[in-house]
Amino acid sequence: MKKSSRFNGGVRGHPFFLTISVITITVIFVWGWDTTPKITIQLPSKQQFHVGTTITPHASNDLEEQHLLPDPKPVSSPPSLDSESNKGNNCNYAVGKWVPDNGTRPIYSGVDCKKWLSPMANCRLMKRTDFSYEGFRWKPDNCDVPEFDNEDFLNRMKNKTIVFMGDSLGRQQYQSLMCMATGGSRLDSDVEDVGEEYDLVKPRHAFLPGGSAYRFGRTNTTILFYWSVSLCKLEALNSSDPENGYSAMHLDRPEKFLTQYLHKIDVLVLNTKHHWGQAKLDRNKWFLYLNGTPINKKKLSVANARNIAVTNVINWLNLQLPQHPGLKVFFRTLSPRHFANGDWDTGGRCDSTIPLESGNQVFPWNVSEDSPVVEAAKGTGVKVLDITGFSKLRDEAHVSRFRSKIVLKYDCLHWCLPGIPDEWNKILYAQI
């Protein structure tokens, strides 16, 4: 019997077979597509970014508010607020909000703690009558920060030394911690002056000593402040008259105190900012040096000189960390000024006594305004203590016009104590 032409391999059979095959494959493909979840690409929102102290820097070093966007690094899902990854050192302490807290604030009494506070910052002993600035605490987002417990702090720091090195704002943070650690004077009898061990004596003609150090006897805990406004090595250019002559400020050499006593330090907190101005350098008779030679000030701005100094001291400390495995180093960002309509010597003022008039919250995209510190610390073992953003919201908490019986000038740089530096120390406490 002759086979049917639709089954033979002739010209008429191939098109029909190909047509049936294409239809079958198309049906299977469409059915598979409809039963498979579609793949979509969703751009991460700002809340999904990993935001820490490593942020995109901005070119300006001034205090005008900048909206800093972090690098877009999406995560698969927002972390749980209760997860362990958001606690301790994984927290971004700089992002959060100020919240009212009249139960735990102030942490200590300015009246009881006058032994440790400078009279020019102890606003409870001035003619200031409003103290609403004391009734707030900083609450970081996405993590829990323990309230300061002086007994716990001293036990953590048993047989250890914590050093603050920097300018007058560093001294304020040191004084704050002394009040917090003593419980506002309750443990004063347990504290011994050990400044001589670190050669901390008041220089001749100095208004304040170059530093101070006190030790808590029960736990052998030492808290020390060393005055170094630039963190750079200063070298007298006239050895016959070192006190009254000119000095070289070596941007690439660390302060001598660091090289001499680093082996005795367990926690180091650095800061430098407000003395980086040409007028102050001229007043102090300091000349900028790099690689052992003077720098023409027309070729290097003071702002860039500060950046060089910050980078060099951070890099130097990072190289020392392997030889000091127990050492923790923090670099605190700049403390904001709030002078309006002038500067400290040109009629600048800060009259507000109303807390948080400009807002109470710091968002991930406008955290730090001290990009030289943030950038220099990237990839090192030095941690950034970023306090600039949330401190900037507290213009009412400065000493202001209350620092003397006769109002001469406003102090819109230093803070009333108790006050904002206590919150800096609470964040520091959470990390040590």
165 beta partners: 226, 270
User: How does DSSP classify residue 49?
Assistant: B
User: How does DSSP classify residue 123?
Assistant: G
The C-alpha atoms of residue 231 and residue 373 are separated, in whole angstroms, by 13
CB of 266 closer than 8 Å to CB of 326: yes
Beta-strand pair 398-400/232-236: unpaired
H/E run at residue 415: strand 411-415
Give the tens place of pLDDT for each residue, 410-432. Answer: 999 999 999 999 999 999 999 99
Burial of 260 (0-12, 13-18, 19+ CB in 10 A): exposed
pTM score over 0.85:
no
List the one residue out of 248, 245, 253, 211 whose CA is nearest residue 228.
211
Question: Residues with Cβ < 8 Å from 82, sequence gap 6 or more?
Answer: none
**How far are the Cα atoms of 237, 294, 295, 299, 313 from residue 256, in angstroms, in the given order?**
16, 19, 21, 27, 12
Give the tens place of pLDDT for each residue, 153-209. Answer: 999 999 999 999 999 999 999 999 999 999 988 888 999 999 999 999 766 555 566
CB of 414 closer than 8 Å to CB of 399: yes
CB of 163 closer than 8 Å to CB of 117: no
Is the confidence at residue 244, as pLDDT, over 80? no
Give the tens place of pLDDT for each residue, 89-143. Answer: 568 999 999 999 999 999 999 999 999 999 989 999 998 999 999 999 999 998 8
Percentage of residues in the chain having pLDDT higher than 70: 76
Q: So what's the pLDDT on residue 205?
A: 57
**How far are the Cα atoms of 103, 148, 265 from residue 182, in angstroms, in the given order?**
19, 12, 20
